[in-house]
Amino acid sequence: MRSSNRTTQLLTALGVAVGLMTAAQALSAQAHTGPLTPEPIRLASVAVDGVDLGIADDHMYRRPIVWSTHPPDKPEGNEKVGYFREGEEARPGIFIAWRNTELVEEVEVRVRNLGNQEGRGEVSIDIINDGGQVELHLEPLEYNRVITIPPRDKGGLEGRVVKMTADRRLNRLIDLYDRIRKPYSVRATVRTVGAVDANLTDNVKFKSFNIPFAAMPGYRQTYNYRFTNDSAGTRQVRWKLESTQLPTGWQVSGTSLPKEPFAFTSGTPLIGSVSIDVPTSTREGEMAELRLSLVDATTGEILNQREWFLARDVTPPTISEVRIRTQQPIQLRMEPGMVRIDLMASDLGSGVFEASGVWVDFSSDGGRTFMGITAAYETGNFITPTSFTANIGPFRPRTKLIVFVGAMDCAGNVARYGPEEVVTE
């Protein structure tokens, strides 16, 4: 009995030692950099057996930079090709700035099913700061608590858009982070209910905001990351680096990513960077989508992820159809002394920046000082002309205002309309 206990203790000690060695090797790799070879982002080529729910990519509201070089597919003959060709580039199908009549920001996520059987799942959204902590958790409305997605070939590939319940906490958080350009991510999760999911690699996806999106020819673009294990115990994980097809000459490098699984201990940070060398020959419209993930070594489930969209875009958005109203139209309700600004904004490069990419600056003291307000999204896809509105005031009668309208795209290009001089009623 004593010998058996000693053997058990020895094996336990060896197991711990092996785990520590593996973790130590993973951490020491952070000191090494070199070329990286991403694997292709998973394609929805054929239906798999069973249920395979996942967070869809941005097929419906595809980044326009892809549209400009790869237009949407059209059915050929009797064969249904789908919305886009296989291999098309995309960002995760997660969207901010869908606002209701109370001007509360919302988040929508598209869920797909690549299986040959109908699937049911629960969806949630988390807003995560650049340190990896969850700032806000969102869930769907009650009638959408458990969603049903048909098989892939019966509508599952296009999937279903799920709207999250939100309140003004989301407005305050996103507006603050956007004003100070603080990086954050939106994590979308779908948990399969009543069945074993055939593939867990796309049940969780992240979409990043306020990171460097603009590709500068001749420069090395770098994205810094930090992963932490916030769970109570150690997880066996492995790295996974994916990308869309890279433009000619774009080279990926960065902190070494060991292929072997390793023990990721609680509270241990993994800090590193991924870089892309953008050649001087890069043309307007070229882009790349990279995803760096920590994956459960056994199940393949994504535990943490960073998403990086990089685009060559030097063309600012287009602002059009600006209307400034000081009197209440028949179809709109306006309080006395208020001014309403309606406009359209579009960007066929990297898209109008979601959540706070359109704003109004105004002055009531002849231009000596200005105040700004974020315009509310109304309808559109941030690519083709999309409507926005802003209400400012109330002001005293006969107040003279100077008004400018601004719009920014994901690459940081800014357009400005104005000045317009307005006298309140």
Per-residue pLDDT reduced to its tens digit, 70-121: 444 444 444 434 334 444 557 888 888 666 556 677 788 889 999 999 999 9
- CA dihedral (115, 191, 274, 277) in degrees, to 10, reads 40
Give the per-residue pLDDT at 328.
67
| DSSP sequence for 127-143 | EEETTS-EEEEE-B-GG
Q: Assess whether pLDDT exceeds 70 at residue 396.
A: yes
Structure-token pair, residue 50: 């069973």
Domains and CATH numbers, the chain: 16-41+211-312 (2.60.40.10), 43-57+92-200 (2.60.40), 318-423 (2.60.40.10)
| Selected residue with higher pLDDT from 332 and 401 | 401
* CB neighbour list of residue 238: distance below 8 Å, 6 or more residues apart: 259, 260, 261, 262, 294, 295, 297
Closest among 164, 144, 148 to 156, alpha carbons compared: 148
* Full-model pTM: 0.81
Q: Assess whether pLDDT exceeds 70 at residue 66.
A: no
| Selected residue with higher pLDDT from 395 and 130 | 395
| Selected residue with higher pLDDT from 381 and 309 | 309
